[in-house]
Structure 1
Amino acid sequence: MPGIDTDVLVIGAGMAGLTAAARSLSRGSSVIVVETSATVGGSAQFAGYAWTAPSHEVMDEVNPNGSPALRRALVDGFAPGIEWIRSLDVECADAVTVLRYGTGHQFDTNQYIGECRKRIRADGELLTSTSTLRLLTEDGSVVGARVRLADGTEREIRARATIIATGGFQANPEAANKHIHPAASAMQLRSNPTSVGDGIRLAEAVGAATGKDRSGFYGHLIPTGVSFREPADFVALSLYYSEHALLFNLDNRRFIDETAGDHLTTMALLEQPESRGLLVADERVYRDWITGSYVEGAVAIDKFDLAQRRGGRCGFAESLDDFAYLPEEWGYDGAVIAEEIGKINAAGRAVRPPRAYDAEPLDRGPYYVIEACPALTFPFHGVRIDENGRVLAAAGGTIEGLFAAGSDTGGLYDHAYTGGIAPALVFGLAAADRATADRAVVTA
């Protein structure tokens, strides 16, 4: 069958891919989007906020090991990214504080997805249920891709710019175990199930550089033994309040400053024996955090009640003395944990590991206990890019004609996190803008 020519080929129709495609169309480029799933939106369908660090100083403090160029680009590109969302007539709420140190905006991600899809279908081409077999190269440059369409036929799409945005490899057990942690595939996915590593596979095959292994992942703690039934559970079952609680491993000891953030505690728990731990809250934490909104504007859910109703390992203790009745089959020594809580309360700010952002004692019964484990949203390992979204070559320099954005990329975060939607938005826009500028130079 004959090939297809286009200015921009976007591989993947999640937040990053749809953003890059819609932006490219607005800049006058012809665009084809290919998506392996029958639907579009990826994991962005389950999000509700775009947020990141509000300044370079905050970004550098909370994400010190990430690429300096990407850190700066994310901060600088965030406000223009929010304006882009609003330019599509998608309502974006006023800024609120997220994760103590971030600034973000609530917006209807599904409305945004729908608006991008509408524009692509009107002025470009969207091919769903289409897999990308390999990238096409000429003289070291990427010039498109060979794809398999929904009907099983194969075609070549030739493009002046190809943007990879397939959403990461979290749904690929082998890749997760290799690049995240040997036990990573045991985690439940709080993301779409189709992000299996196509992006990194395609990029590495043409010589792309990738970030370092074991750089971490984004996820949250969830109750052990409770399966996700629907995407709404990704948020409903996430135990965000852990940063105000205490977490004990199977050795009955704390192992991290929980108050630094549930996302960091989640990564640390994966490294602990059997990747599970006992999360303990008291009456204050239950009142202020378990039943409250994690972020202003979010729906409040009693997560202890939900975990209990869904069959999680949950316990209720009127006092520390009642910890002695913790079920033996859980594997913890309740009396030792109660003793540890007493020591932590007495130590205050002198406790180790520290509790830097909430050193209030947990001394108000009743106590709410949930056994927790980590759940995986997306990895931090991926294809290396520059601040314009251009894919870096393992041999040095960039790969002409190839861009990447979103969770396919690596280098931005290293055991740190300042948002997932924001990088997809910012670098999706950056890739589209640079690809458009390169096309203008070629055709001038």
Structure 2
Amino acid sequence: MDDETVDLLVVGGGMAGLSAAARVAAEGGSVVLVEKADRPGGSARFAGFVWTAPTVEELRRVNPDGDPELAAALLDGFAEGVEWIRSLGVECRPPVPVLGFGRGHQVDTNHYLDTCERLIRERGQQVLTGTRTTSLVVENGMVKGAVCLLPDGSERRIESRWTLLATGGFQGDRALRAEHVHPRAADIELRANPHSRGDGLALGRSAGADFGAKDAGFYGHLMPAGVSLADPARFVDLALYYSEHALLFDTTGERFVDETVGDHLTAMALLERPQARGLLVADARVHREWISASYVAGIPGVDKFQLCHRAGARSAVADSLADFASMPEEWGYPGATVRDRIADFNATVRSGGATTPDRLLDRQPLDEPPFYAVEAAPAITFTFGGLLIDAGAHALSADGDGAGRRRVPGQLVAGADAGGLYRRAYAGGLAPALVFGLAAARTALTESPADLAH
């Protein structure tokens, strides 16, 4: 095994890992980035917006149970992260509203990721693809690098002052999803790259890093049930973002969540219902204003109902509410109950009353035929639970001082490997990966792991 010492070893080449490695290389530091896929980029290649809440107060409102220190760090570092992207010559468009409360920028994410990789290589630093990290090098409680398995089957020991875990979470592992998200999560579709299977989680815990709350949840979307997501093009094309303006019924024919809080939150709620599937119903107004319209400014609208239908989803158009009583028995929903609940909902909102569950936002009736029904199921993009960190991306261990946490010397964590920021709430995925990836780079360039060992 070859020995070498670098300022930063990055395990995982997604948004967080590439941002950290490129920043260290740009500042003249030495870095090795290890990615087990054949190409860096990870699930960030399927995203296109860097966004979050506009203020710490707003982030705390939508995410009250998240770590306040991490929330403040995210907002403090967001503008710097956007300027870093622009400094590389990557287009970052003017800010637009996102999800009703957020603010962010459309970015050519693939251009950014490829630019980071090119910068690393041009500065004489290394990017190792098709390479799996098998273990961390830990001496006297300090992480000093890792042992990696190269594509030719040989091992390589890479020694480093700091080691950053940024492997993208554990959503690609069915058993870990069942353990840390929900037992039914083992069987939901993966709306992400297949390589993020908890490598960072296992490596970090082996060196003493602590895992956060098990019930933190996940980010995902409602997708048409029973439709394969093997083609990444379907991740966005088939996402049922318009659910915020529709009604969602479980297999008992009842509503169970305020759909208007956001499709990403509704996906978590549906996972906990019987069979983790539901019937999403919209009317002609919702079809006109939301199903076939642009979801975010700058993104062309497409008729998602037609896309789902052509993909083979269980879907139907009803000319009237009465038609719901004739719903095919094999669908497994009590159509007459769904019909009655829609009628009850319409009568209640017309009178100004409170529905059950009530709706915070869109309280217009669904009474303009025809009606569009699609069977929906949750799909997972990335996990919220992960290794605990502080604002500097240091991994935290449960044992230590009176605060109950200590920094693990030499170990950093960012991206979806890091937990604590969100708890059953969400305000952007690329932004935290970018901000805490750059924080990890700053730590690697300015701090000594030895200082944490005393």
**Counterpart-to-counterpart distance in 1, 2:390 and 2:43:** 24
Equivalent residue, structure 2, for 1:196:
197
TM-score w.r.t. structure 2 length?
0.96
Residue 394 of structure 1, CA deviation = 2.1
Superposed, 1:63-212 pairs within 5 Å as 63-123=63-123, 124-212=125-213
Equivalent residue, structure 2, for 1:291:
292
Change (3 A) 1:441 1:154: closer
Runs of 4+ in 1 over 6 A off after TM superposition: none
Query: Could you list the runs of 5+ residues in structure 2 that have no partner in the other structure?
Result: 400-404
Superposed, 1:215-230 pairs within 5 Å as 215-230=216-231
The letter of the residue matching 1:358 is: D
SS of alignment partner, residue 350 of structure 1: coil
Q: Residue 419 in 1 paired to residue 428 in 2?
A: yes
Residue 360 of structure 1, CA deviation = 0.6
Residue 350 of structure 1, CA deviation = 1.2
Superposed, 1:393-432 pairs within 5 Å as 393-395=397-399, 396-432=405-441
Q: Residue 43 in 1 paired to residue 43 in 2?
A: yes
**Counterpart-to-counterpart distance in 2, 1:196 and 1:299:** 33
* Percent of pairs with identical residues: 53
**Counterpart-to-counterpart distance in 2, 1:219 and 1:59:** 19
Give the superposed CA RMSD. 1.2
SS of alignment partner, residue 337 of structure 1: helix
**Counterpart-to-counterpart distance in 1, 2:258 and 2:396:** 35
Q: Residue 314 in 1 paired to residue 315 in 2?
A: yes
Equivalent residue, structure 2, for 1:30:
30
The letter of the residue matching 1:226 is: V
**Counterpart-to-counterpart distance in 1, 2:122 and 2:81:** 23
| Corresponding residue to 1:381 among 381, 385, 391 | 385
1:175-213 CA distance string (max 9 Å, x none): 111001111121111100000110000000011011111
The letter of the residue matching 2:392 is: N
Residue 371 of structure 1, CA deviation = 0.5
The question of whether the paired residues in 1 share the 8 Å contact of 2:26 and 2:119 is answered with no
1:396-436 CA distance string (max 9 Å, x none): 31001110100011111110000110000000001111111
The letter of the residue matching 1:24 is: V
| Corresponding residue to 1:369 among 367, 373, 390 | 373
Superposed, 1:192-341 pairs within 5 Å as 192-341=193-342
**Counterpart-to-counterpart distance in 1, 2:212 and 2:230:** 33
Query: Could you list the runs of 5+ residues in structure 1 that have no partner in the other structure?
Result: none
The letter of the residue matching 1:117 is: E
**Counterpart-to-counterpart distance in 2, 1:331 and 1:303:** 23
- Between stretches 313-322 and 227-236, larger displacement belongs to 227-236
Residue 229 of structure 1, CA deviation = 4.2
**Counterpart-to-counterpart distance in 2, 1:155 and 1:342:** 66
Count of matched residue positions in the alignment of Structure 1 and Structure 2: 442
SS of alignment partner, residue 19 of structure 1: helix
**Counterpart-to-counterpart distance in 1, 2:333 and 2:150:** 53
1:39-72 CA distance string (max 9 Å, x none): 1100000000001000011101000000010111
Q: Residue 350 in 1 paired to residue 354 in 2?
A: yes
Residue 325 of structure 1, CA deviation = 1.5
The letter of the residue matching 1:241 is: Y
**Counterpart-to-counterpart distance in 1, 2:396 and 2:348:** 49
**Counterpart-to-counterpart distance in 2, 1:37 and 1:190:** 17
SS of alignment partner, residue 167 of structure 2: coil
**Counterpart-to-counterpart distance in 1, 2:410 and 2:162:** 5
Residue 439 of structure 1, CA deviation = 4.8
The question of whether the paired residues in 2 share the 8 Å contact of 1:169 and 1:176 is answered with yes
The question of whether the paired residues in 1 share the 8 Å contact of 2:12 and 2:35 is answered with yes
SS of alignment partner, residue 152 of structure 2: coil
The question of whether the paired residues in 2 share the 8 Å contact of 1:7 and 1:439 is answered with no
- Between stretches 422-431 and 21-30, larger displacement belongs to 21-30
**Counterpart-to-counterpart distance in 2, 1:205 and 1:159:** 17
Change (3 A) 1:161 1:167: same
Change (3 A) 1:440 1:177: closer
- Between stretches 399-408 and 346-355, larger displacement belongs to 346-355
Residue 9 of structure 1, CA deviation = 0.4
**Counterpart-to-counterpart distance in 2, 1:34 and 1:229:** 25
**Counterpart-to-counterpart distance in 2, 1:168 and 1:364:** 43
The question of whether the paired residues in 1 share the 8 Å contact of 2:394 and 2:440 is answered with yes
Equivalent residue, structure 2, for 1:6:
6
TM-score w.r.t. structure 1 length?
0.98
1:94-138 CA distance string (max 9 Å, x none): 101101110010010000011001011112101111111111112
Q: Residue 56 in 1 paired to residue 60 in 2?
A: no
**Counterpart-to-counterpart distance in 1, 2:450 and 2:67:** 28
**Counterpart-to-counterpart distance in 1, 2:355 and 2:449:** 60
Residue 3 of structure 1, CA deviation = 1.1
**Counterpart-to-counterpart distance in 1, 2:448 and 2:398:** 24
Residue 222 of structure 1, CA deviation = 0.5
Residue 230 of structure 1, CA deviation = 1.7
Residue 441 of structure 1, CA deviation = 9.8
**Counterpart-to-counterpart distance in 2, 1:295 and 1:326:** 33
The question of whether the paired residues in 1 share the 8 Å contact of 2:409 and 2:450 is answered with no
The letter of the residue matching 2:390 is: D
The question of whether the paired residues in 1 share the 8 Å contact of 2:409 and 2:449 is answered with no
**Counterpart-to-counterpart distance in 2, 1:299 and 1:187:** 28
The question of whether the paired residues in 1 share the 8 Å contact of 2:161 and 2:449 is answered with no
